[in-house]
Structure 1
Amino acid sequence: MKIIKTKFQDLVLIKTNIYKDKRGFLKETYNQKLLKYKLVFDIMSVSKKNVLRGLHIQTKKPQAKYITVTNGKILDVVVDLRKKSKTFGKYFSIEISEESDFSLFVPEGFAHGFLCLSETCTVNYKCSQYRDKNSEMTLKWNDKKLGIKWPSKNPIISDKDKKGYSIDFFK
């Protein structure tokens, strides 16, 4: 496993080795030695095609997240909400599937979301903090100021996510 940097400070891809044979494949998805974060909480999300989850952030107890797709394919999107960051308000997106040879590490201070591109998808998160529903917020997925290029114009969204805040709220 090795770390691949992005243009965003501390946002990295964790490249993994995949061992394939006629039975399928084996992939190591996580190794604590690579990250300085203690990841204490796991979440698994199952979605159907065209479901958009996010963009979520915890403000009082921020979470770093380690994202791995174990079934299907997603467009994963993160937005830098760290006020002192050179990339504040910018987004990073990447397609991740069960066959990808990487996982995505999202540091604290980023809003995170994804769109399910396959018939179904399973996304596994490892988080550095436990869920704190009192500090959960949603950044508006289609905020024009962000300019995120989602491949679906009419995704399936929860009522909570429909009430997301503009990027201006986080400035």
Structure 2
Amino acid sequence: MHGDDRGSFLEWFRADGLVTAAGHPLKLAQANCSVSARGVLRGVHFADVPPGQAKYVTCVSGAILDVVVDLRVGSPTFGEWEAVRLDDAERRALYVAEGLGHAFMALTEGATVVYLCSESYNPAAEHEIHPLDPDLAIAWPEGITPSLSPKDAAAPSLKEAREAGRLPSYADCVAYYEGLRLSASE
């Protein structure tokens, strides 16, 4: 980020940097912008793999707690999650690969999140896990009452989604990632 008395400038996405980190480019199919009131909790969302939906996420105004959950059955880290604060001060961004679940909570009023997606929204292939599932035990910020959409509030637990066969397999995801790497090198 470069700043002076006029303001600041940053490159919030660089294809070459993502290729270095992920091993393949991000196919851009859709760009989304979400504005949320403080406490709004969106997710945990994921899509069928293949093709899945990779996301490159940043918060351009305000702050969020962004959470990625490993939903890939058979993964050594299945059911584990990582959280990172994304905000308009540090200007960090996060890449979410296909097969991983994505959720965030707005920490400020009017938190504005923009994200690039590798595939267009396909309601038939989109799924969710309840973000307050006690088995996931995501450490959402204390002192903020979560506000969920009716769809997210009715989402199944991780266990229920797994038993229903809705979760992606680790083997399918790894094969898909390898296909992305191979097609990028051609």
Q: TM over 0.5, yes or no?
A: yes
| In 2, Cα distance between equivalents of 1:45 and 1:102 | 17
Match of 1:53 among 29, 32, 42: 42
| In 1, Cα distance between equivalents of 2:134 and 2:111 | 27
1:116 to partner: Cα distance: 0.4
1:155 to partner: Cα distance: 1.0
Higher helix proportion = 2
AA in 2 matched with 1:48: A
Matching of residues 135-146 of structure 1 within 5 Å: 135-146=125-136
AA in 1 matched with 2:150: D
Q: Is residue 138 of structure 2 the alignment partner of residue 148 of structure 1?
A: yes
| In 1, Cα distance between equivalents of 2:137 and 2:103 | 15
**How many residue pairs align between the two structures?**
154
1:102 to partner: Cα distance: 2.1
Higher strand proportion = 1
Alignment-derived partner of residue 24 in structure 1: 7
Deviations 1:105-163 (A, max 9, x none): 01001111100001211101101111000111111111111110111563111100101
SS of the residue corresponding to residue 112 of structure 1 reads strand
Scaled by the length of structure 2, the TM-score of the pair is: 0.78
| In 2, Cα distance between equivalents of 1:25 and 1:90 | 36
| In 2, Cα distance between equivalents of 1:151 and 1:117 | 8
Deviations 1:8-47 (A, max 9, x none): xxxxxxxxxx101112211101111222131221001011
Tell me which stretches of 4 or more aligned residues in structure 1 moved more than 4 Å.
Answer: none
Alignment-derived partner of residue 150 in structure 2: 159
Alignment-derived partner of residue 76 in structure 1: 66
| In 2, Cα distance between equivalents of 1:109 and 1:75 | 20
For structure 1, the 5+ residue unaligned runs are 1-17
Alignment-derived partner of residue 99 in structure 1: 89
| C-alpha contact (below 8 Å) 2:59/2:91 kept by paired residues | no
AA in 1 matched with 2:30: F
Q: Is residue 78 of structure 2 the alignment partner of residue 88 of structure 1?
A: yes
Q: RMSD across aligned C-alpha pairs, in angstroms?
A: 1.4
| In 2, Cα distance between equivalents of 1:64 and 1:39 | 9
Alignment-derived partner of residue 170 in structure 1: 162
Bigger radius of gyration among the two: 2
| C-alpha contact (below 8 Å) 1:138/1:163 kept by paired residues | no
Q: What is the percent sequence identity of the aligned residues? A: 37
| C-alpha contact (below 8 Å) 1:54/1:139 kept by paired residues | yes
For structure 2, the 5+ residue unaligned runs are 164-186
